[in-house]
Chain A
């Protein structure tokens, strides 16, 4: 069934949004397969985004872990993270649909930046909804978004974090679907969003597959990615899902410790439910009220796992795991000192998992970490963690 990933996915929205989702689904099916669309998107990926991003053999990290570790360098994509892949794709689609405005939500700010960039490239207005708490902790990215000409709308409902920003963006969209496209930032939300985002992000996995074949002459033994909604992970995993010998690891935000009030590890602490238009794995209480997640990485601070990653983990194809905040900061330090790369706190979850679980990887194994973003945006948080105020 379309829009279903096992028991997850679907389209749970109010009647006022149904026509917009159907319109979007039809537009995606109509435009995406055309040469015209693909050529324009590939051209932007290459000339504006800087694709293909390199696959880097991290020798020092390899020595530490005891296997061959490669980094898929999405931090080198223009904007500093994988987010632009999806934003360019959806902005092009919105333009072809005749929309004049994009709305979106952001947590770490990376998606807000990429949405503002894509809107400018394509020629659309853009408004970014951002939780007040995230605005505070991702201040430098807020400045970037504003400099790029986007309107930033603070979200004060709920806890003022990503979950609340998604809700408010859905509410806004219900009032303006005629001229506005909701540029969903991750593989979450009602069908067709998870499919659209995964399609545009799967450029990561396609490149990665070709690159590792060229460099190693074989498929990797493992691909590791961080996530909450799952867009960078699903993008990296998709071309490997049918390759049963490739182990796939999804690292979520462990937060401070593994209990429901101090973590974002929905696969350890959640259960299936329906939120923001889709059935997925969600942190919630016994009655079905959604629990606010908690992690130092704003981009992983979402209580739900998108339908596709929910299904991949539920079916056993992907191994869900988590990294705790303290190990994440340590991973930032190690990566900075050993490889000269400052990773985003989100990305550092995947790195922390590999660093701390060397026993899972044999000596001659090839492990690829999807290095989803750079850490400039987290500099203040990181510096404060290591050196105090």
Chain B
């Protein structure tokens, strides 16, 4: 399913989108597949599918450890792309947004990379270390393969750069709501709401709020204040990291977490009618 269609569908139901981020292969591929199925069955509308990288500079400790474990287990970009195929075969039909650092597509070659991931069933790309200024080439090949490149906007993004980002945006925009790296935070900054308003005034592209969202109340606050959905990062990895020997034992807790997040994304309905 294309990203746009997913947002149309959610809009007609008055719901916000929930997208969890997982690093594929942590701690092993079998678990990742079960984890993703669990997330989708319990409310994930889209999936941020992380391809582990050796030096994830925009990630916090939980995801650094996740990348290290996955790489130690022999995960590679090629096996990740194969993993997307497996998920599609297994009936996972939500939009898949593939996330990795720029060196991975750079080394594979941007043309081959965009083509291969599209064929495997990917709808969008998030490359956290690729700002708008460096993205011309990727945008060109992504367009050829009909893949969306998802950009980030932050409270510190200047108006001038925001214009550039908005004009290149497709799929959705990733609104980074704290000045920092991924990590579960206790509270959200007021600046997020202002940022959502500021970006909303400039574009109709859906806005997904991410970074530091780990509780239903965070998600509800975001969708009630102009976000079209939320992204949870390390929150899921934190749950299964507690039991890395038998991570499957945490799937029940993860199912509950996903359901809570999805429920919170429906809260917009309530808050706008009450």
Contact = CB atoms under 8 A, between A and B. Distances in A.
Contacts of A288: 53, 77, 103-104, 106-108
Nearest to B211: A16
Interface string A15-52: 11011101000000000000000000000000000000
B193 to A, nearest CB: 18
A322 interface: no
Contacts of A16: 58, 152, 154, 156, 176, 179-181
A274 B106 contact: yes
Interface of A, secondary structure class, is mixed
A15 B71 contact: no
A170 interface: yes
Given A171-B57, A175-B180, A13 B156 contact: no
Given A13-B129, A16-B180, A290 B54 contact: yes
A276 B106 contact: no
Q: Looking at chain B's contact residues, is the secondary structure mostly helix, strand, loop, or mixed?
A: loop
Chain B CB within 10 A, most for which of A15, A284, A287, A290? A15
A175 B179 contact: yes
A304 to B, nearest CB: 10
Given A171-B181, A174-B179, A284-B107, A18 B157 contact: yes
A158 interface: yes
Interface string A205-242: 00000000000000000000000000000000000000
Interface stretch (B27-35, B130-138, B232-240): B130-138
Given A14-B128, A171-B60, A273-B103, A177 B154 contact: no
A177 B71 contact: no
A277 interface: yes
Interface residues of A, number: 37
B68 to A, nearest CB: 7
A177 B108 CA distance: 33
28 contacts: A12-B134, A14-B57, A14-B128, A14-B131, A15-B151, A15-B152, A15-B153, A15-B154, A16-B58, A16-B152, A16-B154, A16-B156, A16-B180, A18-B157, A19-B156, A20-B156, A171-B181, A174-B179, A175-B180, A177-B179, A271-B107, A272-B106, A274-B129, A276-B57, A277-B57, A277-B129, A287-B108, A289-B53
Interface of A: 10-16, 18-20, 22, 157-158, 163-164, 167, 170-171, 174-175, 177-178, 271-277, 279, 282, 284, 286-290
